[in-house]
Chain A
Amino acid sequence: MVESRGLRIFLKLATSFTLAFIYVPLLVIVLYAFNERRTLAWPLPGLTLKWFEKAVNNPGVRDALLTSLEAGLGATALAVVLGTLAAIAVSRYRFFGRETISFLVILPIALPGIVTGMALNATFRTWGFDLGLFTVIVGHATFCIVVVYNNAVARMRRIAGSLDEASMDLGADTWQTFRYVTFPQLRTALLAGGLLAFALSFDEVIVTTFTIGGQQTLPIWILSNLSRPNQLPIVNVVAVFVILFSIIPVYLAQRLSGGGGAEAGGRI
């Protein structure tokens, strides 16, 4: 260990402080899911479990959750496909505009969501597409491509190109090479990227506002319900459920990525 003891103690303290900083607001959310009254007042007047029952029985939540899952899965699938294609092109070929691809891919997520939203909205309306689940999936995929792309490129850099050539020498065609040689090595990177893409899509609200029709994804539902006086506790309950359920896929992806290492965190 190169780091001195003092440094290590400082880092441990800093880490605990940062973790506390990250989790205090989440604890507030959890606490308010049990709030007896509907208001934001502090301290809490009392605790109750009734909002959990109301949340489960609320049809708006269920529809919104379903829409969010559909949009997330669709956007992730699209992003994985497009991101992988671009990553393979960039890592295995040299061509005019290669450096620009990285720049292009990061634009949708680096530009403010409101700009991406407005632009896509204008395009969809001009080309006559009705705003709905499809436009949301396309919108989300646009800024999700980059997370898959980055993970795939980083992994492709570590896969020797010679493996592809060896496979071809052995008589495999392009599709077989991809299926039996390239893809298995890419798999965990795509998984990490796909998970992060899903998370980004699941929680996105600004681009969604501009690309969705009459339906609601979960963030849209939350936004509209935070404006209604008596729905705040249900919103908190929904948030708690989402946090708890999300620990599972995050943990799973972390394990499947080989435990530890930068891959596990996924590259943004």
Chain B
Amino acid sequence: MSGRKARVARWAVLGLIVAALSVVAAGCGGDDGGGAEGALAELGEFEGEVSLIAWAGYVEDGSTDPAYDWVTGFEQETGCQVTSKVANTSDEMVTLMKTGQYDGLSASGNASLRLVAGGDIAPVNLDLIPNYADVFEDLKDQPYNTVDGTPYGVPHGRGANLLMWRTDVVKEAPDSWGVVFDENSPYKGKVTAYDDSVYIADAALYLMKTQPDLGITNPYELDDTQFQASIDLLKKQGTIVGEYWSDYTKSQAAFSSGDSVLGTTWQVIANLLTAEKVPVEVTLPTEGATGWSDTWVIHSNAAHPNCMYAWMNHIISPEANAAVAEYFGEAPSNAKACDFTADKNHCDTFHAADPAYWEDVYYWITPLVDCGDDRGDVCKDHSEWVQAWTEIRGS
């Protein structure tokens, strides 16, 4: 190449490299800051839309089944058009919430605390939510929805993870989680488990009751020995698991086609299967279970805060709360909802007004380094749970 052309070519390449590096430098720059603090002072005009992240079955607008719709009425009353995104795990929900494109989320305990710590959700002014007054007392002021006395959301409902089996394959009704942890299970390859790191707590819960000398008092507060024991149990379980599920329709399809016959589930999946005439049964095993107590939270930079408050008030109103609790198969959060369920025994079946029952249900919550007792800061935190889960799933 002639001298001049070579020089020009070199400058061009240099220019491109500099431009590329500036992209890198910009990318290395600071992260986006946290959101604004402070709860809404008073309700203003409704913005015309609200976008939510929710567990499957929480925001039904009739498109799944025309009989289940507690969204259209809300849209007509407030003019807030609802768009919802279904997420399958709390981790997914936190990641989605952090994009800043959603107004609110039905957060389980293992999402809400992380969002508070990250500054992604704002405190809630409970005076603006009239229906909050009727919420069951044992759902108020809980560690997963209140931090330092500041409330961060309104309770949606709670439930337990249950054990489900196909009655035509598993002839003897199980009553213990032991059947899914049994290495010599006759149903090897057809057992299912929840595909998220929080499932480690289920293993820890089983060890809590069957190996008391490990000293586990709370399945989310695990020190090194207890954590290793849980992981080992789950690795052994991996040899009999056919499919790990987080997408509830896949779990439903797997039970329906016979690829899964035994494992952990949500009541809503069992309900959908029974409607399909697949023979299944569920039970809460003797060891107790993990579960969830969900809270509707609002993004700290929500684009439509007034509509979000209207939604929060709506979803815990007696009629809507009853409808969603029945559809999903959980206990409602509003005491008055018990009068509105189609099945009059719904609240009794799901122990909505029975605080003693929930002592044996360990709601999903974020594991922290601080064990919360006199062991100090030796417990495994969320990132270690996630890494351990990768180990378990990868083997």
Residues of A participating in the B interface, judged by any CB pair closer than 8 Å: 37, 39-42, 60, 95-97, 122-123, 125-127, 131, 213-214, 224, 226-232
Chain A CB within 8 A of B356 CB: no
Chain A CB within 8 A of B129 CB: no
Chain A CB within 8 A of B228 CB: no
User: Quick check: B86 and A228 within 8 Å, CB to CB?
Assistant: yes
Chain A CB within 8 A of B145 CB: no
User: Quick check: A229 and B272 within 8 Å, CB to CB?
Assistant: yes
In the assembled complex, the CB of B115 is this many whole angstroms from the nearest CB of chain A, namely 19
Q: 10 closest pairs, A vs B, by CB?
A: A96-B9, A229-B249, A40-B253, A126-B27, A227-B247, A230-B64, A126-B26, A39-B256, A227-B249, A229-B272
Chain A residue nearest to B268 (CB atoms) is A229
Residues of B contacting A39 with CB < 8 Å? 253, 256, 276
Interface of A is mostly: loop
Chain A CB within 8 A of B110 CB: no
User: Quick check: A95 and B247 within 8 Å, CB to CB?
Assistant: no
Please measure, in the bound complex, the distance between the C-alpha atom of A122 and the C-alpha atom of B28, giving whole angstroms: 11
Q: Residue A126 contacts which of B29, B256, B272 (CB distance < 8 angstroms)?
A: B29
A214-B51, A228-B86, A229-B249 given; A40·B256 CB < 8 A: yes
Residues of A contacting B248 with CB < 8 Å? 227, 229
In the assembled complex, the CB of B304 is this many whole angstroms from the nearest CB of chain A, namely 12
Chain B residue nearest to A132 (CB atoms) is B101
Please name 27 pairs of A and B residues whose Cβ atoms are closer than 8 Å in the assembled complex, sorted by A.
A37-B276, A39-B256, A39-B276, A40-B256, A41-B257, A42-B257, A96-B6, A96-B9, A122-B27, A123-B23, A123-B27, A126-B23, A126-B26, A127-B26, A131-B99, A213-B101, A214-B83, A224-B86, A226-B249, A227-B56, A228-B64, A229-B64, A229-B249, A229-B252, A229-B272, A230-B65, A231-B63
Chain A residue nearest to B25 (CB atoms) is A126
In the assembled complex, the CB of B299 is this many whole angstroms from the nearest CB of chain A, namely 14
Residues of A contacting B276 with CB < 8 Å? 37, 39
Please measure, in the bound complex, the distance between the C-alpha atom of A225 and the C-alpha atom of B78, giving whole angstroms: 27
B 244-266 binary contact with A (CB < 8 Å = 1; else 0)? 00011110110011000000000
Please measure, in the bound complex, the distance between the C-alpha atom of A213 and the C-alpha atom of B85, giving whole angstroms: 12
Chain A CB within 8 A of B393 CB: no
User: Quick check: B1 and A96 within 8 Å, CB to CB?
Assistant: yes
Please measure, in the bound complex, the distance between the C-alpha atom of A224 and the C-alpha atom of B56, giving whole angstroms: 11
In the assembled complex, the CB of B275 is this many whole angstroms from the nearest CB of chain A, namely 9
B 314-351 binary contact with A (CB < 8 Å = 1; else 0)? 00000000000000000000000000000000000000
Residues of A contacting B10 with CB < 8 Å? 96
Please measure, in the bound complex, the distance between the C-alpha atom of A122 and the C-alpha atom of B29, giving whole angstroms: 12
Please measure, in the bound complex, the distance between the C-alpha atom of A228 and the C-alpha atom of B23, giving whole angstroms: 40
Residues of B contacting A228 with CB < 8 Å? 56, 63-64, 86, 249
User: Quick check: A41 and B13 within 8 Å, CB to CB?
Assistant: no
Max count, chain B CB within 10 A of own CB: residue among A60, A127, A213, A227: A227
In the assembled complex, the CB of B311 is this many whole angstroms from the nearest CB of chain A, namely 17
Please measure, in the bound complex, the distance between the C-alpha atom of A230 and the C-alpha atom of B271, giving whole angstroms: 14
Residues of B contacting A213 with CB < 8 Å? 101
Residues of A contacting B176 with CB < 8 Å? none
In the assembled complex, the CB of B53 is this many whole angstroms from the nearest CB of chain A, namely 11
User: Quick check: A96 and B13 within 8 Å, CB to CB?
Assistant: yes
Residues of A contacting B88 with CB < 8 Å? 227
Q: Please give 12 more A-B residue pairs, beta carbons under 8 A apart, in addition to A97-B9, A97-B13.
A: A41-B257, A123-B27, A126-B26, A126-B29, A131-B99, A214-B51, A214-B101, A224-B86, A227-B88, A228-B63, A229-B64, A231-B63
User: Quick check: A95 and B56 within 8 Å, CB to CB?
Assistant: no
Residues of A contacting B83 with CB < 8 Å? 214
Please measure, in the bound complex, the distance between the C-alpha atom of A224 and the C-alpha atom of B63, giving whole angstroms: 13
Residues of B contacting A231 with CB < 8 Å? 63-64
Residues of B contacting A41 with CB < 8 Å? 256-257
B 85-103 binary contact with A (CB < 8 Å = 1; else 0)? 1101000000000010100
In the assembled complex, the CB of A227 is this many whole angstroms from the nearest CB of chain B, namely 5
A39-B276, A40-B253, A230-B64 given; A95·B27 CB < 8 A: no
In the assembled complex, the CB of A173 is this many whole angstroms from the nearest CB of chain B, namely 23
Please measure, in the bound complex, the distance between the C-alpha atom of A227 and the C-alpha atom of B247, giving whole angstroms: 6
In the assembled complex, the CB of A222 is this many whole angstroms from the nearest CB of chain B, namely 13
Residues of A contacting B9 with CB < 8 Å? 95-97
Please measure, in the bound complex, the distance between the C-alpha atom of A78 and the C-alpha atom of B248, giving whole angstroms: 39
In the assembled complex, the CB of B182 is this many whole angstroms from the nearest CB of chain A, namely 28
Which residues of B in the span 1-41 have a Cβ within 8 Å of any Cβ on A? 1, 6, 9-10, 13, 23, 26-27, 29, 32
Please measure, in the bound complex, the distance between the C-alpha atom of A123 and the C-alpha atom of B64, giving whole angstroms: 37
